[in-house]
Structure 1
Amino acid sequence: MLHQELAGMNAPLPPSFTIAATSPDALHFSNRDPAWLRQARGIVGDLYVRSPAIYWTDFLLSIGIAWAATAVYFLAPAWSALQIGAFLVASVLFFRAGTFIHEIVHFPPGQMVWFGRTWNLLQGIPLLMPWVMYRNHVDHHSAKHFGSPDDGEYLPLAASPLRETVKYLAQAPLLPIFTLVRFGILGPLSWFHRGLREWVLTATSAAVSNPYYRKRFPKREQSHLTLVEALCFAYLIALAALIYTRAVSGTQLLMAYALMAWTLSLNWVRNLAAHRYDSRGDRMSHAEQFINSINITGQSWLTVLLFPVGLRYHALHHLFPTMPYHNLGEAHRRLSSALPPDSPYHGTGRDSFFAAVGELLAAARDTRAEDSAMTRWRGR
């Protein structure tokens, strides 16, 4: 149905809609795009101006309060309401601050360089998630790779049996172990062994949810990666020294692990509502990528907490990838109001996280093992 609408909406645009020359995403469109997409581009063409003040204020407040709440979490009486509350506040705000990694990789070259460096200092290194590891995100917006085994952020969970979703969720508590092994063992060892280094650069140097993703880390960024690897390793050595001298106890280490695992799990679970996840690995046009993505349109406390920094407008982000997060809400309001009722844009909205995930689970329950799209991913 939506694909038919895409093919049929070729009416000329109203003269009032013009494509803003300042739109960076204009480079990724063509005259062959559906009329509704060209119209949408004109409606939001003035919303590409990024506000450094908003970025700095939002991030510094989020990360500052997160670290303050972490201190309370460690110092409060065990299992007290204060400790539990501090744990929840810290995890939510670390999650919020962490999602700026998504914005950083979409910055044009040379823009807000010190924001990325500060993010690494306050979040990326301490939580073993330097932003350069997310460079693979560009493949997630590629017409060649999106929704395929070569997309590190896509698994065909809706087109595979339910057990694949269970396996995906089961990884979440183990994510801190993966990062510890990556930066505490594999990274440093690979500096001294060329073969191991190539494997590390190909198999363990991308922030992915698709475990079958394999792509060598770009050589042009390799010195950057080595630098942050060294910083992460130095951080882990310092932590090990604190544990050895008993300045940090085993209980505190477990507390830190729990906080990190919970924080990373928030994004892992949120990711289930980002796409339909029903692709079978075939190439998709820009418009088809958008249709396979989801906007969470219902406003609730869960939406605010689980979809920070514009993540609730994930379909809109795939439509206009370089639009700054603080303008996505206004763009969504304009498009929802101005586009006609039969526009595919309206079909991407879901009232809640549970509505989106419910569709995924229902489709997975109806998928037989012999029809699983995951076979193609494993073959990759």
Structure 2
Amino acid sequence: MTTVASADTRLSSSARQEVADLFGPRPWIYWTDFLLSLTVGYASATIYLSGPFPSSRTVASLVIAVVALYRVSMFMHEIVHFRRGQMRSFSITWNLLAGVPMLIPSFMYESHQDHHNVREYGTRQDGEYLPLCHTGWSGLVVFLGQVFLQPVLVFLRFLLGTPVSALHPRWRQWILQHASSFVINFRYRRTLPADAPRGWWLLLEWCCFLRAALIVVMIVLDIFPPTRGLKIYFLACCTLGLNHLRTLGAHRYTNPGFAVTHEEQFHDSTNIRGGLLTELLCPLGLRYHALHHLLPTLPYHNLSRAHRRLMEQLPESSAYQDAEYPSFASVVSRLMRTIRTREGHHAPDAEGI
């Protein structure tokens, strides 16, 4: 264990030293990227929602809206990695302009920190991990099937869960622990920090309730046709589908459900080369997921530069070199092959997910 820990420390410290000048976020990049993506996404979504479907115009608008709004949503990942007080105006603006309208407030993603915790990564207390290599094809089908279920659950979470949670403190606590995290592992239970900004959470939550209620009211009053609700659902499924597809390539999913070291966490993650399609599928530097797990506070706009530098400066014998894949398809193909060879094997019930 000492040898593993020392190797873990060496990799992290060596990588950190090589990219020490790249940890500072550049606010103008965040603001420009976010506002441009948001404008394109909302404009395209408006055309899609108001036009006849299917038609070439609405289909094209749907594709653009999905890609743009998916990119917008991924800023939530950056926000939860900001240090307390860092980029505060950006976080507030993102939540008000994107988080509330899209029903994805960032407080629902703060559980992401458990995904980086060496005691929680890959265990049942990691909401963003499933032992896909050990659950066979059925586990993969269930994972992909979440794409069609989660938009409904999130909508009901705010439309019904918010007012219900206001009726009793215990109900409120249950909602926050069991129904306030964007996860793929539904057995995850959120731990609430004592210093959590619950007032800010509550404000965002009620804003999301009003947003969800407005959709229902507009359809009930026949201001919008019922098909608009179906269109919104389809847009949400497509956007979430991109994220689930990306998630398939983010890790190797070989952990059966046990706590691992930081280096083992890194080895279970991937860095992916590729072109425009890879960037669209893995926006904001998410193609460098192994690097992100190694150095979580690197801002997204410096990940590509940091990866190139580490590939050049670290020796070929470095564990960092082993995390790179030539394409997204190569990562998923490896996962499929592993599932095929391990069909029928499951993570242990005692410790695993």
Alpha carbons 1:173, 1:262 under 8 Å: kept? no
Q: What CA deviation, in whole Å up to 9, does each residue of 1:39-96 have, x standing for no partner?
A: 2221111101110000000000001110011122123343221110100000000000
Paired with 2:332 and 2:153, the residues of 1 have a C-alpha distance of 26
* Paired-residue identity, %: 40
Report the counterpart of residue 26 of structure 1 in structure 2.
none
Report the counterpart of residue 126 of structure 1 in structure 2.
101
Asked if residue 183 in structure 1 is aligned to residue 134 in structure 2, the reply is no
Report the counterpart of residue 259 of structure 1 in structure 2.
235
Q: 2:339 aligns with which of 364, 368, 375?
A: 364
Aligned residues: 352
From the CA coordinates, give the structure whose radius of gyration is larger: 1
Paired with 2:210 and 2:10, the residues of 1 have a C-alpha distance of 53
Q: What CA deviation, in whole Å up to 9, does each residue of 1:136-174 have, x standing for no partner?
A: 111111111111111111111012222101111011112
Q: What CA deviation, in whole Å up to 9, does each residue of 1:88-118 have, x standing for no partner?
A: 0000000001000000001111111111111
Report the counterpart of residue 192 of structure 1 in structure 2.
167
Alpha carbons 1:161, 1:366 under 8 Å: kept? no
Instruction: Map 1:78-157 to 2 at 5 A.
Output: 78-157=53-132
Paired with 1:291 and 1:170, the residues of 2 have a C-alpha distance of 27
Paired with 2:343 and 2:243, the residues of 1 have a C-alpha distance of 28
Alpha carbons 1:107, 1:322 under 8 Å: kept? yes
Unaligned runs of 5+ in 2: none
Report the counterpart of residue 245 of structure 2 in structure 1.
269
Paired with 1:286 and 1:354, the residues of 2 have a C-alpha distance of 26
1:105 maps to a residue whose letter is V
Alpha carbons 1:203, 1:214 under 8 Å: kept? yes
Q: What CA deviation, in whole Å up to 9, does each residue of 1:162-200 have, x standing for no partner?
A: 210111101111221011111111221121033332321
TM-score by length of 2: 0.94
Alpha carbons 2:12, 2:295 under 8 Å: kept? no
Report the counterpart of residue 247 of structure 1 in structure 2.
223
Alpha carbons 1:206, 1:217 under 8 Å: kept? no
Unaligned runs of 5+ in 1: 9-29
Q: Pick closer, same or farther for the CA change 1:365–1:242 going to 2, 3 Å.
A: same
Paired with 2:338 and 2:192, the residues of 1 have a C-alpha distance of 34
Alpha carbons 2:100, 2:207 under 8 Å: kept? yes
Q: 1:234 aligns with which of 192, 197, 210?
A: 210
2:239 maps to a residue whose letter is T
Q: Output the aligned Cα RMSD.
A: 2.0
Deviates more, 1:209-218 or 1:126-135: 209-218
Q: What CA deviation, in whole Å up to 9, does each residue of 1:336-373 have, x standing for no partner?
A: 1111112111111112222111111221222243x301
